[in-house]
Amino acid sequence: MRHEHLVTAKQLSRDDVEAVLDRAAEIAANPAAVRERHADKLLGLLFFEPSTRTKMSFETAIKRLGGDVVDMGSVDSSSVKKGESLADTVRVIEGYADALVLRHPQEGSARMASEFVDVPLVNAGDGAGHHPTQTLLDLYTMREAADGLDDLTVGIMGDLKYGRTVHSLANVLTNFDARQHFVSPESLKLPRSVRYDLHEAGAKVRQHTDLETILPELDVLYVTRIQRERFPDENEYRAIAGEYQIDADTLEQASDDLVVMHPLPRVDEIAPEIDETDYAHYFEQAHNGVPVRMALLDMLLENARGDEE
Ligand code: NCD
């Protein structure tokens, strides 16, 4: 992989994805080999939106590579409260850290911020835009659970409009020629820009308003949360909340090998009774965030070192 920054999943070619996933698998098999690999490195965490998994797994990843974090902390306790611009914030923090991870509510913020810094910047979610590292760990999980990434039929269900994990995943799946079935209420369909990307990539895509008809065909079902915080009107959210849930009854029509995934956090999209079944892969998916982010950081920090020399 030869990128300075990772700001959108659209950057990720099939070769890039395979390189990161192969490296992640190597690291997962032998974590001791990389324990001191980036011993002197600091990762700057700039999270302008809530996060549990993404932030903690980046922190775990750099620490397991021997490095450490410098964390801006919450927006309330930072200079952002005083009106500092994002461009200024990242320019300051790049002086403290060897790489930056940014999560921000505004779509396009990661691309903009990356233009102001020389250290590698990773987008950990820009509003309803992209979340490329989530896609890498999604694909790592899919590759392991569904025995490879070729010839897959993938259902993606829930909030396709505001769900950034969906936008990233749908884009990258086109590199693997997957058949993609999108299931959502009419009002939460994929945004036009993503449909355009998929069309341009010649993707095999169909859209549905209910899961029933296509469930038996699916190898993977990727369920997502309705992104309440991105609805301009709370009533609109309430009108759809609670639809598009799956439980043991729903899955009676599914193949025995169906892989159920979810980027988490879940609200009520997947009934807890599914957690103990062989369908459930979402907790392992979250755990895979560590080796995948270790692999990515390792590669970006190595590239940056190469550029310095
Ligand atoms: C996702 C996100 O932040 O987009 N969470 C995550 O990083 N695993 C999904 C979500 O919030 O629904």
Q: Which atom of ligand 1 is nearest to the CA of 103?
A: 3
Closest CA to 129 of 6, 240, 17: 6
3-state secondary structure of 9: helix
CB 189 within 8 A of CB 167: no
The shares of helix, strand and coil residues in the chain, as percent rounded to the nearest 5, are 45, 15, 40
At 302, list the tokens: 């190595």
Work out which ligand 1 atom sits closest to the CA atom of 224.
12
The predicted structure's pLDDT at residue 243:
84
The pLDDT assigned to 82 comes to 81
Report the distance separating Cα 99 and Cα 274, nearest Å. Answer: 38
Of all protein residues, whose CA lies closest to atom 12 belonging to ligand 1?
A: 225
From the list 47, 10, 13, 23, the residue with the least C-alpha distance to 302 is 23
CA-to-CA dists, residue 108 to 125, 144, 258, 272, angstroms:
10, 32, 34, 35
User: Of 173, 190, 180, nearest to 138 (Cα)?
Assistant: 173
**Measured from the CB, is residue 131 less than 6 Å from ligand 1?**
yes
- How much distance in Å is there from the Cα of 273 to the middle of ligand 1? 22
Helix crossing, 132-145 with 164-173: angle to 10°?
Answer: 60
Q: Which of 48, 53, 54 to mutate to test the pocket of ligand 1 (most atoms within 8 A of CB)?
A: 54
Would residue 133 show up in a list of annotated catalytic residues for this protein?
no
Question: Rounded to the nearest 5 degrees, what angle is found at the Cα of 193, between the Cα atoms of 187 and 195?
Answer: 75
Walk along the chain (309 residues) and give the pLDDT tens digit of each residue: 667 999 999 999 999 999 999 999 999 999 999 999 999 999 999 999 999 999 999 999 999 999 999 999 988 877 777 888 999 999 999 999 999 999 999 999 999 999 999 999 999 999 999 999 999 999 999 999 999 999 999 999 999 999 999 999 999 999 999 999 999 999 999 999 999 999 999 999 999 999 999 999 999 999 999 999 999 999 989 988 888 999 999 999 999 999 999 999 999 999 999 999 999 999 999 999 999 999 999 999 998 887 776
On whether the CB atoms of residues 200 and 173 are closer than 8 A, the answer is no
* Confidence at residue 309, expressed as pLDDT on a 0 to 100 scale: 63
Pick from 243, 278, 285, 245: which is nearest to 261 by CA? 285
Label the pairing between strands 121-126 and 153-157.
unpaired
Spatial neighbors of 109 by CB under 8 A, at least 6 apart, are: 86, 102, 126, 127
Instruction: Say which of 64, 131, 179, 181 is annotated catalytic.
Output: 131
Q: What is the pLDDT of residue 241?
A: 86
Return the pLDDT at 39: 97
- From 135, 264, 290, the mutation candidate for ligand 1 (largest count of ligand atoms within 8 A of CB) is 264
Distance separating alpha carbons of residues 133 and 123, to the nearest angstrom: 8
Q: Can 82 be counted among the known catalytic residues?
A: yes
Catalytic site includes residue 192 = no
Residue 26, judged by CB atoms within 10 A of its CB (0-12, 13-18, 19+), counts as middle
Read off the pTM.
0.96
